Structure 1
Amino acid sequence: MMAAEVILTVSAECLLQHAPPALLSVLKKELTVANPKYLDAKKYGRWIGKKLKPFLYFYKESAGGFRFPRGYANKAVLHCRKILGKDPEIVDHRRLLPEVDFAFQGTLRPYQKEAFNDTAKRDFGVIESSTGSGKTVIGLALIAQRKQPTLILVHSKELMYQWAKQIELFLGVEAGLIGDGHYETRPVTVAIVNSARNHLEGLPEKFGHLCVDECHRVPATLFTEVVTAFDCKYALGLSATAFRRDGLTELIHLYLGDRSHRVNTEELQQSGAVLKPEFIQKTTSFRYGYRGNYHHLLKALTTNEERNRLICTDIVIEAGRGKGTVLVVSDRVAHCEMLAEILSEIAPDLKVAVLTGKMVSDERTDLIRAIREGEVEVLVSTVQLIGEGFDCSGLRALFLTTPIKFTGRLLQVVGRILRPAEGKSPRVYDYYDDIGVLKKSAQVRRMIFADKQGILV
């Protein structure tokens, strides 16, 4: 008796039927991911309990077949071809709606065109491209090419409004908005992911294209809950980095597809899209008897008078080098305020502004305007607010006053000062603290910078 034909049905998820054990074994292995929370608990001797499992399984097996995220569909087909010698029969139930005649009103740089071409060949895919590369523009060109009503998911209201402006500029249409008190769908709609989750009923049927911006930032459970609700034909991920802080980087590709293109920093620098900065790492005299409590260590670090005055002296010298705003970042609000206070003491005429979560949206808008108009010489901000969604030209130097351990966040913050401007020579100041865990972190930052950015001083 002949074995039944292997069938792969693609909708909001994939359903594989009649797959032989050899194929299922390979798929199960690749769809099983080590649980980062379990690994961390084990590494640091924390209580594990019964609920924390060593592995996460991104498949479900039942009498009806084998189900898995649809971003993995291409790999499943390749494994089927390799093991069985032929492709599965594909039943495509993805949502394709009447075409929308978008007109892209922009010109792509050569590196953007490459990313566009590589991604346009696929229905699913993730573009990885550094800050300053114009990921939004590439995404809008793909939206125009695919001609489907599109939902763009973002994780903050700042990003939502930025996308809306770019949509009007490059597609000539007004965007629908979901979030921050708005709920209106249009041919291109931008939604804050939390708000999209609250309105999932009725949303998927309106879109044939799903775009997830900064897909590495969406929390894992929220990401999977929202993305798996959509059965649209096309899915696009945009990210400055392929790495997730929670260790679940594979989630991005399981749900949105393989990386379709990566724009590297060297390409951006050669094209003139971004500048190459100098990296200056200075040694401090800070000492601390570290005994495993990182929170206490960071508190001691940020309140250390001598270290803070060293940093502020460097800031004042750098601010005197030329036009533009010096950006100073810290993990802590209190540290930002402390640095601003010392700066006002040692350089009373220096125009210093502080940006933290305490500042309301209108005040933030006014501050960005002031920076663009050259009214702010030093901006002291929390790292979080300088991440995705902060779009401001005029920044020319960066001071990293607390350790940034995550590669993606480091490159993103550095990217804020790399926009080209006449006579601009961007500099990054980092601080090396001679204490085990901090020393290692500083060495990692130096290695990342050498690998990704260029000039070490």
Structure 2
Amino acid sequence: MRLTSSKGTIVIEGEIPTPYGQWDSRIRAYRAPGYCYRDIIKYLKRSGIPFEDHVLNPPPSPPISGTIKLHPFQKEAFERWMENGGWGVLCIATAGGKTFIGLKAIEVLKQSALILVPTLALIDQWVERIKEKLCIEAGVLGGGKHDIKWVTVSTYDSAYIHAEEFSDKFGLLIADEVHHLFAPGYSQIAEMLVAPYRMGLTSTLHRADMRHLDAPRLIGGVVYEASHKQLAGTYLAPFEYKKVFVDLTPEEKAEYDKLWSTYKSYILKNNLQMRSEKDFQRLIMLSAFDPEAREAILARNRAIKIALNSEEKMRFLANMLKGSKEKTLIFTLHNSLVYAISKRFLIPAITYQTTESERRIVLSKFKTGEYRAIVTSQVLDEGIDVPDASRGIVLSGTGSPRQQIQRLGRLLRKSDGKVALLIEVVSRETKEAEISLRRHRKPDLKNSARER
């Protein structure tokens, strides 16, 4: 029996069928998805069937001279993953050093590796860490670059486009912010790659659409978990949480009530139930041919925007920043508010439109203390190393517990005597108050912080 790879599939030549392949009459051989490679090898060895393995075709291997040292909890996570056959997801709190566990896997296994990340900024971060800790140059796929090396860092977008091309190049898949891997389309990356070793990294695996349930098939289930609560005080800074309610101005309140009434009237008139994201998606579909549905959605969106961007939030922020020496990260949902705050308070902004060089300068000056505050939307939510900050102010966000946990993680770099403070500012008696409640359904955040 002979195994080869072909465009994201395993070709099995021989007379004996395996449970994983289907007969392809065009090539007169059995064919299986790339991700079945690991199980096919196990089956053939267990069955005592002799075979030739020509599946993996990695790029040239450079010498690795670095040594990765792990904290005890990181070492335990890595050992759990190895005990599971080099297969599975590590759910570790933001700022818990997940990157170093991934690098340890490369060092120990000596396997060519593809590292998936959601943003270009995270490509830069991984490339720097690989050079610093493993003393090798990583290839890059994304942002106009197409350089495949023994270790390659790629965005999910670029890997999705080129998965067929490099499906047989890597023995190890590391999916950073692995919850992205289960999105429609991106899951094909995992299906086409032959990588027999797979590591997922995230702070929380859960997705609202429940697609994370595909993890065992594509990359493995959760093999280790370490929450903020478990790591705070020893490896991460302890933290406190404070929720502050503010009122809309009379003008904002009148406009909010008018718009929300338009939305609710349509819902009641048509006997619609808005209990889940799927329910809202159905309303969006209705708006394609029902002008009243479209008007209702627009009214809802404008009402929520009033709540998220209320003037009283700006007054609260002004009071918090006045004379403060705390290093502060200010989080919003939309870029428009980022730029409004940046202009009003003369604070540097970081968004997806910020260039790499500008972002580096801003973060460097924040680290030295030249800048005491940064305002950002969602670009700093995932993975990017942010210099030591002790206070975060959330002016608006999604209903995702993951986003709240990630934002908290930006504050938890440990330093002597530091207690991080996350302040969430919410417009009272609005839809935003409900959104805020959804953010706190994750027990880790709710139970390990003090609401003041």
Regarding TM over 0.5, the answer is yes
Give the deviation of 1:187 after TM superposition.
2.0
Stretches of structure 2 lacking an aligned partner (at least 5 in a row): 265-296
* 2:240 is the counterpart of 1:278: yes
Give the deviation of 1:174 after TM superposition.
1.4
Q: Given the alignment, which residue of 227, 232, 249 partners 1:269?
A: 232
Residue 368 of structure 2 corresponds to which residue in structure 1? Answer: 373
- Assess, with a 3 A threshold, how the Cα gap between structure 1 residues 120 and 101 changes in structure 2: closer, same or farther: farther
Give the deviation of 1:307 after TM superposition.
3.4
- Assess, with a 3 A threshold, how the Cα gap between structure 1 residues 401 and 246 changes in structure 2: closer, same or farther: same
| TM alignment of 1:283-432, pairs within 5 A | 283-286=245-248, 287=253, 288-289=256-257, 290=260, 291-292=263-264, 293=297, 294-313=300-319, 315-317=320-322, 320=324, 322-323=325-326, 325-343=327-345, 352-382=347-377, 384-432=378-426
Identify the range of structure 1 (174-183 vs 274-283) with the bigger mean alpha-carbon deviation: 174-183
CA distance in 1, matches of 2:169, 2:115: 12
Instruction: Determine if contact 1:355/1:380 at 8 Å carries over to the other structure.
Output: yes
Residue 84 of structure 1 corresponds to which residue in structure 2? Answer: none
**Cα-to-partner distance string for 1:239-274 (whole Å, 9 max, x where unaligned):** 12102354322233321111121122233214x221
Instruction: Determine if contact 1:312/1:339 at 8 Å carries over to the other structure.
Output: no
Identify the range of structure 1 (388-397 vs 301-310) with the bigger mean alpha-carbon deviation: 301-310
CA distance in 1, matches of 2:341, 2:48: 63
| TM alignment of 1:67-216, pairs within 5 A | 70=35, 95=55, 102-121=64-83, 122-216=85-179
Q: Taking structure 2 as the reference length, what is the TM-score of the superposition?
A: 0.75
Amino acid at match of 1:363: E
Amino acid at match of 1:158: A
Amino acid at match of 2:69: T
Instruction: Determine if contact 1:357/1:385 at 8 Å carries over to the other structure.
Output: yes
CA distance in 2, matches of 1:274, 1:159: 21
**Cα-to-partner distance string for 1:201-259 (whole Å, 9 max, x where unaligned):** 54123221122111112472331222222112212211121023543222333211111
CA distance in 2, matches of 1:161, 1:130: 21
Give the deviation of 1:131 after TM superposition.
0.8
Counterpart secondary structure, 1:221: coil
> RMSD in angstroms over aligned alpha carbons?
3.6
**Cα-to-partner distance string for 1:50-97 (whole Å, 9 max, x where unaligned):** xxxxxxxxx9999999978958998xx9xx9xxxxxx98999969456
Amino acid at match of 1:299: K
Stretches of structure 1 lacking an aligned partner (at least 5 in a row): 1-8, 20-58, 81-86, 345-351
What percentage of residue pairs aligned between the two structures are identical?
22
**Cα-to-partner distance string for 1:136-155 (whole Å, 9 max, x where unaligned):** 10011111111111111222
Give the deviation of 1:339 after TM superposition.
2.7
Give the deviation of 1:180 after TM superposition.
2.1
- Assess, with a 3 A threshold, how the Cα gap between structure 1 residues 215 and 72 changes in structure 2: closer, same or farther: farther
Amino acid at match of 2:222: R
CA distance in 1, matches of 2:201, 2:36: 14
- Assess, with a 3 A threshold, how the Cα gap between structure 1 residues 94 and 339 changes in structure 2: closer, same or farther: farther
CA distance in 1, matches of 2:38, 2:447: 32
Counterpart secondary structure, 2:243: strand
Residue 270 of structure 2 corresponds to which residue in structure 1? Answer: none
Residue 453 of structure 1 corresponds to which residue in structure 2? Answer: 448
Counterpart secondary structure, 2:75: helix
Q: Given the alignment, which residue of 415, 438, 443 partners 2:437?
A: 443
CA distance in 1, matches of 2:22, 2:306: 48
Give the deviation of 1:330 after TM superposition.
0.7
Residue correspondences, number: 388
CA distance in 2, matches of 1:71, 1:260: 20
